[in-house]
């Protein structure tokens, strides 16, 4: 993860800005270079999407399920 992404994540947590958290953690998942790390970030994006009732939750769930990481 780049330092810039990390800084933006911290700022989003500080808000908290849930929309930003969903997109930033999705971005981190897309940048990760191994599956476990990617699913770690996807999980966070998914939880923030669930909490917000955001439409991205469905897609994030599908990605995690596809890797056998979510029911």
Partner 1 sequence: MTVTDLASVRAPVETANGLPNAHYIDPAVYTEEKHALLYAQWAGLAVGADVPEPGDAVPLTFLGMPLLLLRDKDGDVRVFQNICRHRGMILIEAPRKIEGAIPCPYHSWCYSTKGALISTPHVGGPGRNTHDAIKRSELGLIEVRSHVWRDVVWINISGDAPEFEDAMSHIIERWREFDVPMYHGGHDSRFTLEVQCNWKLAVENYCESYHLPWVHPGLNSYSRLEDHYHIEEPEAFSGQGTMVYRQLTNENGATFSDFPEVGAKWNEQAEYIAAYPNVLLGVHRDHAYAIILEPRGLERTAEHVHIYYAEPGADEGMKARNAQLWKGVFEEDIFVVEGMQKGRHVTTFDGGRFSPVMDSPTHCFHSWVAGKVEGYRGLAEAAE
Q: Does 39 bind partner 1 (CB under 8 A)?
A: yes
Least distance to partner 1 from the beta carbon of 8, Å? 20
Q: Does 51 bind partner 1 (CB under 8 A)?
A: yes
Q: Does 17 bind partner 1 (CB under 8 A)?
A: no
Q: Does 12 bind partner 1 (CB under 8 A)?
A: no
- Total residues belonging to the chain: 71
Q: CA–CA separation, 64 vs 8, rounded Å?
A: 24
Minimum CB distance to partner 1 smaller for 8 or for 44: 44
């Amino acid at each position: 993860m780049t330092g810039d992404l990390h800084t933006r994540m911290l700022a989003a947590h500080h808000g908290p800005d849930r929309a930003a958290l969903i997109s930033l953690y999705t971005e981190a998942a897309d940048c990760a270079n191994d599956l476990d790390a990617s699913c770690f970030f996807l999980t966070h994006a998914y939880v923030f999407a669930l909490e917000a009732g955001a439409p991205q939750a469905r897609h994030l769930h599908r990605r995690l399920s596809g890797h056998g990481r979510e029911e």
